[in-house]
Chains A and B, each alone.
Chain A
Amino acid sequence: NAGVTQTPKFRVLKTGQSMTLLCAQDMNHEYMYWYRQDPGMGLRLIHYSVGEGTTAKGEVPDGYNVSRLKKQNFLLGLESAAPSQTSVYFCASSYYIRDSTVPSYNEQFFGPGTRLTVL
C-alpha cells in the first residue's frame, strides 16, 4: 500500500497562473481532505469530501476549488494563484464510520505534502 500520495512535491507559480494538485489514496477511504500549513502554524482545512462526487468547504476555502470524480482521487485547484497561497498543502484521507451508535474515531492518514510558492 502506498497510502496517501501527492503530486507534485514542489511547485513554483507566478501570480495569476493556475495549477492542480493531485491527491491519491489506495485505502478505499470514503473521506478525503485538503489542508494548508503556513510557517509556524497548525494545519487549516481548505475543502473536504465525504464521498465520490461530493465536496464541502472547510475553514479557508477562498481561492480554491476541488473535485472528487473518483473515490481514490481528490484534486485541489488554484484558478488564479496569489502570493498569499504560498504554503505547504497536505492531503489526508479517512474511513467512514457507518455505525454511528458506536463511539468511534476515524484516524486521518496524511500525505507527504506539496510545497507551493507563488511569486
Chain B
Amino acid sequence: DAKTTQPNSMESNEEEPVHLPCNHSTISGTDYIHWYRQLPSQGPEYVIHGLTSNVNNRMASLAIAEDRKSSTLILHRATLRDAAVYYCILRRYGGSQGNLIFGKGTKLSVKP
C-alpha cells in the first residue's frame, strides 16, 4: 500500500472549522482514501472514505485533490469531543483482506 504523510499535530478552537491535510503522492488509481480517528483511550473509528470525488457524511467532509496526490479531512465545527488522533490511510480496492496500515496520524487538540 502507498504511504501517506500527515502533520504530527494541529490545534483548533472549538466551533471553528478544521482542515486536516494528508499527502499521498504515490497513490494508485485503485487506492481509496480512508480516514479513521482514535479518541483517547479508545479503539479507532471510521470517519469517511473516498476515491475521486469529494465526500460528505454526518461526521466530516473529504476533499480530494484533482490529481489525487493529496486530500483534506474537514471538520466543519470542531467540538471538544473531536480531539483525537486522525489517521489517513490508503486502501487498495480488492487489496488484501482489508488490512489497514496505520501511520502515526495527526493529533488534533481542540481549545475551548
Contacts and interface: CB of A to CB of B under 8 A. Distances in A.
A50 B99 CA distance: 11
Given A56-B97, A112-B42, A42 B34 contact: no
A4 B99 CA distance: 17
A107 interface: yes
Interface residues of B, number: 25
Interface of A: 4, 31, 33, 35, 40-45, 48, 50, 56, 58-59, 90, 92, 94, 100, 103-113
Contacts of A112: 42-43
Given A105-B32, A105-B49, A110-B45, A42 B103 contact: yes
B98 A106 contact: yes
Interface in B84-112: 87, 91, 93-94, 97-105
A100 B112 CA distance: 46
B45 to A, nearest CB: 7
Nearest to A48: B97
A106 B46 CA distance: 10
Interface of B: 30, 32, 34, 36, 41-46, 49, 51, 87, 91, 93-94, 97-105
A113 B43 contact: yes
B1 to A, nearest CB: 11
A4 to B, nearest CB: 8
B100 A43 contact: yes
B43 A90 contact: yes
Given A43-B102, A48-B97, 9 more contacts: A31-B98, A33-B99, A59-B101, A90-B44, A94-B98, A103-B30, A108-B44, A110-B44, A111-B43
